[in-house]
Structure 1
Amino acid sequence: MSYNIALNFEDGVTRFISCNEGETVLDAAYRNQINLPMDCSDGVCGTCKGSCYQGNFELGDEYIDEALTDEEAAEGKILTCQMIPSSDCVVEIPAASTLCKTGIAELDGIVSEVNLVSPTAIELKVTAEQDIGFLPGQYVNIKVPGTEESRAYSFSSRPGSRDLSFLIRNVPGGLMSSWLVGQAKTGDRLSLTGPMGVFYLRPVARPVLMLAGGTGLAPFLAMLEQLRVKGCEQPVHLIYGVTNNDDLVGVAALDQFAADIDNFSFKTVVASPDSEHPRKGYVTNHMEDAPINHGEVDVYLCGPPPMVDAVLGHFRDQSIEPTSFHYEKFSPSVTAVEEQVA
């Protein structure tokens, strides 16, 4: 038996490795030619210290307190030279991937579909030629064919499948948008690098509030795909805001998620005052059903910078301090990942 271990480096790069039963994460990484920080490999120096908040594992008692204290272990800290997984795990490595003699994985994909799902959004479906692991919420860089430019897009598809999908903003005159709308066809080859990003779904241990703006819905679709498979006992509420009625996409998928996932609910909001949508304004105007729970909530936020800044300001003004707050800003030509944990 083996387990999938996601090594998430501090520069946002994620590499997946296979760890055999009874094998330490450090040994598995070295077997996969990833040189994690290490001086002793005996639980003495503490150089290989990281964190694991997702998955099951054993540390044993072969390490000394100077390397890892009981308090640190209780907080989720681990030593990769002592950590023996008993399930799939996500391990945070406090070092850049390049320092560990690894980097962003590269893979090829074949365009299977390009759909203009609204005047402002494009759905791109790609079949990966190699297995690709990613955490729900992460993104890849896709090279624009015929150029040296790349664009960052979040996965909207289920982790663990070679059938990938992306929800892409249709930017008039945009480099990738122009290629997708005017030139792309089934069978075209694409070059992808990743996965990357610290914006991903953590274990659901308390109520979750998801706030999406425009094509910022994409990573939440991947998260919901994960919850549909894994199940969820906590309330999860999504508020999805757009500018105009035509910008609303993926609503049928959200309806299906609501039918399939216990405790999941969502609402849509349209900002345009000319809209006849029953909920107008911004996501912060429609949080009456949000499971704020006196701050005992995990908040995930993805959208254009003005929306993200407005939501962060709203929480500050309301003196709401969530247990954790994860957010990602995006612009038409680049994705900037930021995270704040309260």
Structure 2
Amino acid sequence: CKAFCESGDFDEGEFVDDAMTQDELDDGFCLPCQAKPHSDMVLQIRTTSILAKTGPETFQAEVTKVGALSDTVFELELEVEDRERLNFLPGQYVNITVPGSEETRSYSFATGPQEDKIAFLIKNTPNGLMTNWLKNVAKVGDKLKFEGPMGSFFLREPLQPILLLAGGTGLAPVMSIMESLANDELLDVPVRLIYGANTNVDLVRLEEIAAYKDRIADFDFFTVLSQEDDHERKGFVTNHMDPSEHLADGEADAYLCGPPPMVEAVRTYFDGHDTPPLNFYYEKFNANQQPGAKTGEEVAEKAEKTAAKVGV
């Protein structure tokens, strides 16, 4: 029952080293079974999203839109039967059974929890099972099934400035997060997005992203390309982070979804930074699994000098 205390004051109660050490207490951990709050508290706990009342179920859906957004990205939109049963948190994903097979592929919602239809951004993977279905078979009216929602990578209560980092089709859960933030009437923190890709052709939904400038009071974004010499910002997303603008001098909550090299590069950057984010949540895609599959390793990390990890 060990948890990380993001904010709030408490009496730690009595405990033995086998349950929690004094060093862990000093680093911000507590035992909720012993701690007595002196104020409201925010805790990060080691659990799946089942306890957030978004446990996975099996759903039937009908294709309402399918097509290529670019040479490298497909969009799949679905109308879900019993839509009111599907409760998910922005950032979570589902396992879709590829029609005509028993195989599943995992994709994050690219739409907000309140939208009637759901959508996904899917990478064009040559000879991939899902890619072949999308290119050669899929059409409006087709039926499919999926299981979800799943994942502990999701938007927490927006109490600090927010930095969103997206790589490739990792933009999908970030879009879901931004849609939720745009509908949050109490939102009063700045939101920044850095969207990384290889080339111009990999960038999608730019107009929709730009529209959030009118929907979120303090929102801005830019793109970074690793393989375009004439792009305004070239290289990696870490080359273009401003400690004040994007990290809020150590007070930001950072959310990252992208391929393993991007995740590891950002983690290394934060580990060596003087003012890393207050909280760092990330999800990475596992290149060793089937195309489009995720590791299931959504990690919430407290990016301080203690490097204390929670939520694994």
TM-score (norm 1): 0.71
Q: Which of 62, 75, 86 is residue 41 of structure 2 equivalent to?
A: 75
Per the alignment, residue 323 of structure 1 pairs with: 278
Instruction: Return the letter of the residue paired with 2:180.
Output: Q
Per the alignment, residue 163 of structure 1 pairs with: 117
How many residues align? The count is: 260
Given that residues 67 and 134 in structure 2 are in contact (C-alpha distance below 8 angstroms), is that contact kept between their aligned partners in structure 1?
A: no
TM-aligned CA distance change 1:198 to 1:67, over 3 Å:
closer
| Stretch of structure 1 that moved more, 250-259 or 312-321 | 312-321
Q: Does 1:214 align with 2:174?
A: no
Per the alignment, residue 299 of structure 1 pairs with: 254
Given that residues 92 and 151 in structure 2 are in contact (C-alpha distance below 8 angstroms), is that contact kept between their aligned partners in structure 1?
A: yes
In the alignment, the residues of structure 2 paired with residue 249 and residue 243 of structure 1 have an alpha-carbon distance, to the nearest angstrom, of 12
TM-aligned CA distance change 1:216 to 1:70, over 3 Å:
same
In the alignment, the residues of structure 1 paired with residue 49 and residue 136 of structure 2 have an alpha-carbon distance, to the nearest angstrom, of 38
Instruction: Return the letter of the residue paired with 1:335.
Output: K
Q: Does 1:226 align with 2:226?
A: no
In the alignment, the residues of structure 2 paired with residue 318 and residue 95 of structure 1 have an alpha-carbon distance, to the nearest angstrom, of 30
Per the alignment, residue 126 of structure 2 pairs with: 172
TM-aligned CA distance change 1:303 to 1:72, over 3 Å:
farther
Given that residues 49 and 150 in structure 2 are in contact (C-alpha distance below 8 angstroms), is that contact kept between their aligned partners in structure 1?
A: no
TM-score (norm 2): 0.78
Q: CA deviation at 1:153?
A: 0.4
Q: CA deviation at 1:72?
A: 8.5
Q: Give the alignment of 1:184-223 within 5 angstroms.
A: 184-223=138-177
* Residues 120-151 of structure 1: CA deviation (Å, up to 9, x unaligned): 00010000011211000100110001111100
Given that residues 48 and 151 in structure 2 are in contact (C-alpha distance below 8 angstroms), is that contact kept between their aligned partners in structure 1?
A: no
Q: CA deviation at 1:92?
A: 6.5
In the alignment, the residues of structure 2 paired with residue 156 and residue 96 of structure 1 have an alpha-carbon distance, to the nearest angstrom, of 18
Identity %: 42
Bigger relative contact order, structure 1 or 2, given CA contacts below 8 A and separation 6+?
2
> Secondary structure, in 3 states, of the residue corresponding to 1:204?
coil
Q: CA deviation at 1:341?
A: 2.3
In structure 1, list runs of 5 or more residues that go unmatched.
1-65, 78-90
In the alignment, the residues of structure 1 paired with residue 257 and residue 199 of structure 2 have an alpha-carbon distance, to the nearest angstrom, of 18
Q: Give the alignment of 1:1-342 within 5 angstroms.
A: 69-71=35-37, 74-76=40-42, 94=47, 104-131=56-83, 132-231=86-185, 232-272=187-227, 274-288=228-242, 290-331=245-286, 332-336=291-295, 337-342=297-302
* Residues 169-191 of structure 1: CA deviation (Å, up to 9, x unaligned): 11111110110111101111111
Q: CA deviation at 1:70?
A: 2.0
* Residues 143-170 of structure 1: CA deviation (Å, up to 9, x unaligned): 0011111001000112133300001111
Given that residues 70 and 204 in structure 2 are in contact (C-alpha distance below 8 angstroms), is that contact kept between their aligned partners in structure 1?
A: yes
In the alignment, the residues of structure 1 paired with residue 33 and residue 257 of structure 2 have an alpha-carbon distance, to the nearest angstrom, of 37
In the alignment, the residues of structure 2 paired with residue 110 and residue 269 of structure 1 have an alpha-carbon distance, to the nearest angstrom, of 35
In the alignment, the residues of structure 2 paired with residue 95 and residue 163 of structure 1 have an alpha-carbon distance, to the nearest angstrom, of 25
